[in-house]
Amino acid sequence: MNGLRSLCVIVAALASVFGSAAAQDYPNKPIRLIVVTASGGLMDVAARVAAEHVGKALGQSVVIENRPGGGGNLGAEAVAKAPPDGTRSASSSSATSQSTRTSTPI
């Protein structure tokens, strides 16, 4: 049940971030979804399933990039330091987000 809920949250987040720009000529290059957990885990699998659906809806490939470590800080930092072109987003669990809220170096 948690896996399904996580998948729904990821799809909703990606749709809200990238869906509003679908009427424009956006995205014009692959979208990178940074997952803050190791590959093969629940978040990684859910992100890959969501990426497939979002990619089909937008007509653009969605690349999953795993950045585990630092309680999610490494992935958050990668998104924060990415070029501001709107093609990067992060996926994390609420537990990861809550535990790093006060210690994020960005």
pLDDT in tens, the chain (106 residues): 556 666 666 666 666 655 555 556 777 889 999 998 899 998 899 999 999 998 998 888 999 999 998 888 888 888 888 888 878 887 766 554 544 455 555 5
Task: Please report the pLDDT score of residue 99 as a whole number.
Answer: 47
Beta bridge partners of 32: 63, 88
Counting the structural domains of the chain, the total is: 1
CATH of the domain at 25: 3.40.190.150
- With a CB cutoff of 8 Å and minimum separation 6, the contacts of 76 are 36, 90, 92, 100, 104, 106
14 φ/ψ angles, rounded to the nearest 5 degrees: -65, -40
0.75 exceeded by pTM: no
Cα distance between residue 100 and residue 74, in whole Å:
11
Q: Has residue 30 been placed in a domain?
A: yes
- For 35, the 3-state DSSP assignment is strand
Both tokens of residue 91? 């996926």
Q: Has residue 105 been placed in a domain?
A: no
> Domain of 32?
2-100
